Structure 1
Amino acid sequence: MLRFGVLMTAEELLQRYAIGERDFSGVVIKPSYGLEGAQLPGINLSGAMLRRVKFEQADLSRSNLSRANLGGASLECANLTEANLSHAILSDSIVEGADLSYADLSYAKLNMVGLVDVDLTGAILVRTEIGIPLIRGVNLTDVDLSQADIFFEDWMNNSRISDVVLHNTIMPDGSTVTSD
């Protein structure tokens, strides 16, 4: 088990994961390349500092990224299916083409994140702070936005929307939508 705040390179993380280690909670990984396309399903990176780390096309399915700082990280085309991203900071990150289906994004910060071609099917965005400049081609089927604070400049242009839960949700115009 690692101590919180341990500095680690992408290469070291991959080596330790390859030999069976899964708990990397609290690690600090310098902004780096080297994790593009990485196969890291089930990894525990809770509380990790992952600012500006490149995770393009990485498999982070069923991973624990709760309370992780992913500000400015690139998660383009990453698999984050069923990932725990609760309380995570994703501000200024790139998530284009990412699969976030059934992910828990409750209490996460999604400021200045363009959502383009992202699958959020069944995702939990309860009390999530969402300040998004662009949302296009996003699947919000069965998404729970209860009490989310939402600001979209381009609301749902060409998005597929069905079965979205809007309960005490603050909409872009400041109104609150409640449905049962």
Structure 2
Amino acid sequence: MDAKELLQRYAAGERDFPGVRLRGVFLDRAELREINLTRTDLSGSDLSEADLSGADLSGANLRGAILCRVIFTGANLSRAKLSGADFRDSGIINVNLTEAILDGAIFGGEESTIKGANFDKASLRGVTFIMADLVRTTMRGAILDGVVVDGDTGLEDLDLTGASCEGSNLVKFACAWGGTIILPNGQSISRQD
């Protein structure tokens, strides 16, 4: 299947495309709300500015995908392979990223929103957060080793219980921001603006 066929079938009302191979396709600006792309291979694909609200991408391979300015509201990316993906300026709102592999991914940008996201037990080794706001986000038991958070990243109501943060500056920044931050050791820090 190629991008053209997927878009035609989606336009005709079809929503279920589990396990298809779409490696390196261009689906930029595509409106694919509520689509089922479980276990799909989208590695190296360009989905810039796509609307994936409510999409099921659980177990999908999106390694090296360009995901800039994508709307992921309510999407399921659990167990997805997202190493090296570029999420700059994306809307990651109420997204399930449980057990996802996001090693080396990039998050942030002036239009970036990460709110109500679940990164529990996800691997985020070497992830970079630039000008990203993480609000009401959980990272319980996540691997956050080598995560880099810049000074313009905001953290509020973040749960890091049981997370591994070796070589990361995330905990240092978490202690400087607002709301309630639960550190990897379970200690709760509350700050009011």
Question: In which range does the TM-score fall when normalised by the shorter chain?
Answer: 0.7 to 0.9
Q: Deviations over 1:14-65 (max 9, x none)?
A: 7683xx76111000013132x1111221111110011000001101101011
Unaligned runs of 5+ in 2: 1-20, 187-193
Measure the CA separation in 2 of the matches of 1:49 and 1:142: 30
Aligned to 1:152: 173
Aligned to 2:48: 30
SS in 2 for 1:117: strand
TM-score calculated relative to the size of structure 2: 0.73
SS in 1 for 2:87: coil
Measure the CA separation in 1 of the matches of 2:34 and 2:74: 15
Measure the CA separation in 2 of the matches of 1:143 and 1:152: 15
Work out which of the residue numbers 107, 110, 123 in structure 2 matches 1:90: 107
- 1:61 pairs with 2:78: yes
Aligned to 1:119: 138
SS in 2 for 1:122: coil
Aligned to 2:122: 103
Measure the CA separation in 2 of the matches of 1:144 and 1:109: 16
Q: Which amino acid aligns with 1:107?
A: G
Asked if the contact 2:34/2:54 (under 8 Å) is kept, the reply is no
Please list every run of at least 4 consecutive aligned residues from structure 1 whose deviation after the TM superposition is greater than 4 angstroms. 11-16
> Structure 1 stretch 141-150 or stretch 55-64: which is displaced more?
141-150
Work out which of the residue numbers 113, 125, 138 in structure 1 matches 2:158: 138
Measure the CA separation in 1 of the matches of 2:162 and 2:78: 19
Measure the CA separation in 2 of the matches of 1:56 and 1:145: 27
Measure the CA separation in 1 of the matches of 2:120 and 2:177: 20
Aligned to 2:185: 163
More strand as a share of residues: 2
RMSD between aligned residues: 2.4
Unaligned runs of 5+ in 1: 165-180
Measure the CA separation in 1 of the matches of 2:55 and 2:138: 20
Measure the CA separation in 1 of the matches of 2:35 and 2:40: 11
